[in-house]
Structure 1
């Protein structure tokens, strides 16, 4: 007999699939950006073809303000058990990556500034303490985000990788060990990226189409190698430095101050205690929705 959680997830996926067939762009909290994603000055425009299910429309906010934090759904409150030795496999055929040009490999810092759209990106997971809470919160507001996963975390928590994908979020590559790519040889960089892409490909049935260098520290070699592996490079335009744990209020204030149409927002669900980030998400997401922003995952 299906659990409430399974039923909820299946319903959301069916709704997303139906919207994709109807060509619905999205509504209150999330929208697709077919043809709308564009690079910031110096960066190339993002491809218009989405590589995931259509965004599910966010529920209209019932009035939470910056001072009131809505409770996250309990659908994902219990973290899955770790399985360090368990292989990650989906049974889906492994797709070959698309080779990109040097122009396409340039980091993208913003989306289309003409539309009131925000891309929420979550780095350094998956993490059994915080990722389930983040997923429940995104489901509550029906927001599709991009999760930049670290390979050594993904192989340790394969159930979380599959859960992120099952909920319709975009899964992207954040290296295997979160290394500073500027200090690595070409062979080591390729191993960091290719090993992670292979793992995520097997887990989801699709190779990742976006890559983010740890710390945003790209090198000429890493840009080329990512492109050879079929991945575009995503930077960010809003960084609250939540990884430093400056406090929930500081994280929230930095995001609300700096966000603008087309912004790519950087947050973290892994790499340490991210309870401040989770609390900030509970506060600023409804504020942005009430302000008329849509959320999207950049297209592949």
Structure 2
């Protein structure tokens, strides 16, 4: 069994290796900009694994890469989450390729995108945030509007931790069964609320259940949002058991995976327990975690 000192040294070596690898590849295509069903993770979007403050070999009293503070990209790309801008945000005009759902990242590097759906939830979201901060992981939270409006302080906390805030509709319906007008209302209401709450205009959207409709793709594009799917689904929403969630993630994850988990929509204690178990395994296996820039 490895000692604490050996584990610490190993993680620090992984950080150094990750920096070297990503620095070499930083001149590649723009991050999160591939329209062929994959997106490339760039160095600016990756939160490297860090050790808790005070750990042997850890820098100072607070790790520089800690998820408790927004990384440089988030700080420069978005205003403070505590004050909404007074002007209407400029929404990006997407290419046709960028309107297609993205299912995986570039598999050339050992990166994973962790995505958290159906929150915010006052029972489970704070625990998830603390866990992500412990490992210096930056994730993407797909928030439901009717939950976000009930817990605005929690939405701001997610944003203030540097995580990416994304649109997951207002009521979590099956978009394929809705009229064009109702689909637009679901997405517009949620984007407007998240903009007012965090000062950040959502730039990514996920259809509930991954069930996109032609209208939802059109509305998302009109709002300047790309569509993020996933490649690893432990079906944690069905509460299959903590061991089943862990086994599925560790069996299916590979470089470039987008992992789906949930912090809302019901009892997510199994998901939280699974995250506590599989995140350190992925970190110690050399995986780095990525999210789009805010």
TM-score scaled by length of structure 1: 0.75
Shift of 1:55: 4.6
Matches within 5 A, 1:160-199: 160-199=154-193
| 1:124 corresponds to | 118
CA distance in 1, matches of 2:220, 2:117: 17
1:231 corresponds to 2:221: no
Report Cα offsets for 1:121-176 as digits up to 9, x if no partner.
Answer: 00000000000000000000010000000000000000000000000000000000
Q: Mapping of 1:281-292 within 5 angstroms?
A: 281-292=275-286
Tell me the equivalent position of 1:68.
none
The offset of 1:35, in angstroms, is 3.0
Go from structure 1 to structure 2 and tell me whether the alpha carbon gap of 1:133 and 1:153 turns closer, same or farther (over 3 Å shift). same
Distance 2:41 2:223 in 1: 16
Query: Match of 2:48?
Result: 57
**Number of residues paired by the alignment?**
248
Which residue in the other structure is 1:154 paired with? 148
Residues 264/297 of structure 1: CA separation in 2 closer, same or farther (3 Å cut): same
**Which of 105, 110, 116 is the aligned partner of 2:104?**
110
Aligned partners of 1:119 and 1:298 also within 8 Å: no
Q: Deviations over 1:195-239 (max 9, x none)?
A: 000011111212100000000000111111101110000000000
Deviation, structure 1 residue 103: 2.0
**Gapped regions of structure 1 (runs ≥ 5):** 1-23, 63-74, 76-87
The equivalent of 1:35 in structure 2 is 30
Q: Cα RMSD (Å) of the superposition?
A: 3.0
Deviation of 1:109 after TM superposition, in Å, equals 0.2
Q: Which structure has more helix as a fraction of its residues?
A: 2
What is the aligned counterpart of 1:208 among 192, 202, 209? 202
Moved more, 162-171 or 96-105: 96-105
Higher mean C-alpha deviation, range 201-210 or range 161-170: 201-210
Match of 2:85 among 86, 92, 100: 92
TM-score (structure 2 length as normaliser) = 0.77
Query: Does the 8 Å CA contact 1:89/1:203 hold for their aligned counterparts?
Result: yes
- Matched residue, 1:257: 251
Query: What is the SS of the residue equivalent to 2:201?
Result: coil
Correspondence 1:67-78 to 2 at 5 A: none
State the 1:299 CA deviation: 4.3
SS in 2 for 1:239: coil
2:37 match: secondary structure:
coil
Shift of 1:102: 2.6
Secondary structure of 1:114's partner? coil
1:60 is displaced (CA, Å) by: 4.9
Structure 2 Cα separation of the partners of residues 211 and 43 of structure 1: 14
